[in-house]
Chains A and B, each alone.
Chain A
């Protein structure tokens, strides 16, 4: 613990114990508690390092006139202090503990009514209960009864905390008992099941009497669960809900004897609850049963009969909506039970079977079918049930083939048929009965169902044997894209589905020319849509499609899906270029990244430069310098990053054609991007600079890609980094070109940027550069000797903006160092002090400095240290918090001093 803080703490305690009303803000106590928790977690005993806390607790707890928030804080603090056995003993001996957790004490003071006292009491106990002594204290003080009462407290927070606490108590008792009985008959049972913190604690041997006490606690809790599980009237549903939550928690965590006992105790009540058929309780009940079900194996190695029976009951509920929910819950959680999985799958497929009339299920109980049809006739419940079914269809197809009532391809057919019904197309529907038609009309035009169905279609794309559906899927999706009434989100999902199916079914030989033509038509139309969201999705789609590689026709030629479906660049590029003029910045940004994706192939193949290419680059540079929105400008920089990296990833030397355009434009991107107002543009620009650095120095000694400070000092440097031998001439050449491209200026300007992420990144890159060109390890004189040529490489420092900042930094450094020693050697500029600067500016000449000198003089390491810390690190420290509390109290005690205390946000 910080010594400064320890010294402040006694005064803070005094302040808090005196009055709570003068706190700087209502989160200070929480912050204080957080700090204490952190300290405790770090292994420091609170009581040892801050003995004043004991006095604080005992004085506060006796003063019931204090603010309840202070009292609640004290309750929780006591729990935290007593988390170690030693401290607990000290507290108990000083009889503080008895008083703090004495219910009567709080009730008599009339404070128990305040929920913050109740929750403080629970949380204090909960924190403390990490060792058997605490558990013993809990049992002896008979806190179980009030705790059970608190479980149905009118404050939700209190009730939930009580629930957690009860689970904690029960699990603690279990650990204690199992520790005692361990090694006798349940050897090895614990392996892999030590969940929760309590299991990690080591308990000393427990005497038999106490063990009986624990058994009594367990019995009392389970009795209570049993008793209050079934609601006597509707208003008690909330209570049942709480108990069910607790039960689910317990059944998932408890082990054999207790698990058995719990299940035995509540089984009848659960039965009764099931029979009562409360729709609100279906999901929590399912949670309980599934918790029991999934811990069955661990506990019994075979599925318990009772659990299995309960599960069967749930999967046969009469109310269709509840049934669907239960089946969906089962499918999400318990996959290893084949019988019930098959049953759940059938339940979830039933509505699809009814609506599409596709005979997904060979047989269904008439009664179930009838009630389902009746329920589906109601529009609201129809839509919600269908959506639940659709959301879970991918889960169904994931199940083992012998559990599936029908092959996945039939499910895809059903989803397609459903999508057609949604758009009012009944031509393919095979259901003829009027009741089915009544059901189908509920989903016409429902974009919610459409979205769910499209998502299901996306997820189903990977199922075995569904490739044959590709032409049908494409036809339907194109229809959806063409439909004037499709919602923008539906269109977006349709595009996603199309891309997904293209990428999964890489063989496009089944796609006809008609498909292509329709898609072409629809993409052109949608790129002119009146809604920007649609234009955005379309542009995005064009880009994504270019990234999907497919096999076209029988020739086995691999190309990208954009070429295969839309004829590639000659179609997409004009559309995307038109989108560069879009009034909506998101669309412009998407168009730029889509252009990058579309052109990536030609970059990689080193295709020759075209007129169009040049025009695009000019257009993009125009966007970078003119566009008013950051999104588009960021995308431009990313475009060049993609271009540059795809070029450098190419093994053969870049063809002149492409490079002749790329490098000059990168130069302008660097200069424009680093002068941008948007910090993200600047960060991207630095990324571009990093690529250039990497290209120049990869393989050079000292060059490490990425963040140098992140690598471990003893890490083994991969051999590849040493392949190229150090060659000073190479370094000089590369450094010169970096200076020419403006990389060094970008890095330097980034370093003094007011946005921290920019400065941080620039600083790291500069350090990387320094390691290559003039490592500090060589020492100043050695370096100059060894790299005399490198040292002569200079860069310009114009007299404005960032350069002025850099020069100031250099000048400060020069003043600090001995005069005439370090920075005096600036080439072409005798002195970087104020006088020299002005002279240079007046003279109109741009002064140049040695790159090496700058790198060595800038104190990059120190700067990195400052930049890595968050800007509020000073104000967020515990010390600052304690000071705040003190200041606030003094301001409070002298109200005439009109000084307002400004408190930091947490």
Chain B
């Protein structure tokens, strides 16, 4: 299967990598967690995060106020590189977990567990298992889905679809859930649940994308905590978290000089900005560019890494051994490229026809009051967040880059913006970055440190975290848009 692009050496490398995984998984003894680095993230050197933290009193304030666990967890630590964003993040998360809402508290945490389980994110699961019990959840539920009320079980289908192929959600799914009966969901409850699901799917992306380490001091085990499985390959371990040591990946992607890579990117951005004034791509070209980008996203990542293996083989291997599976059904269901099912011809989601600002917000806020404002603020925040820097350069307008990242994620979920020239994506996002984006948003559990290291090597870690935030929010918005559109259709 020629997937185009990607040097053979890369393929070989990943092949090895996947083998490692298999070995790792077969031999269960190695599975005991062993954080790759100390500090909150396996990808980011501890000092980067800690340094930022000591300066920041604000973070502590925020944590004190909004953290449900009452402590500075690793996610918060990493996010605190962007305090402004952190605030809206924590505020909205706190709202959906703790404040007035249609769902009882234990339900909320259980839904979070279900969502995180779709991506085998043991970090989030453990966190919420604790909270679930703390808020008075019934311990029995933690034995698996068979033990929960039918009502929660019914959420499974939508959880599965949202996590992997949100475009398949139709109003029939919604109808099935809300139609009157013993285990029906009211619309506000459903919206609450959907917001939670989308939030935790996206957060799982962030956790894997930034290599969040398990919390250092696992409290007294309550029996339901999972043994943390690090999803990093053994060869990542060998990598020793040294950026300079990235010669391996460097040669993989054939980048000679990372410095020139940055310069080139800057150059391209500049050119694009200038060209924009004169160059006029024909309409046909514009639409083909979207299709092209969509198609191309097919070959990115999975092409080299996993598809050379029988797909299901790998997944089964991975999931069956994992404790996580008790929270999910149909574990083999995964992301499937939007573009690939040309035969079925799924209609592209036109962003202009159902936007967050106009439609999504109104619906969400109507059914689950105030969450709309919080999410709105969060989306705006992440989209507009900029320090006007790129690596060592200052005073750079990064709008273009941010928009490219955001729209590329939406493109993989089949959402198209009429007013966006998808040619820009190609110009601005290099292949290794695309690999990373696709992995993080579609199969976050497969993210490796190598992927994280291999793109934008001149950039600061905080900038990469920024990228992660963008990916996370873009993904959340995409999921929400599909789900809310289905609900709207159900209502009309």
Q: Do A and B come from one complex?
A: no
Binding site for B on A (CB under 8 A): none
Binding site for A on B (CB under 8 A): none
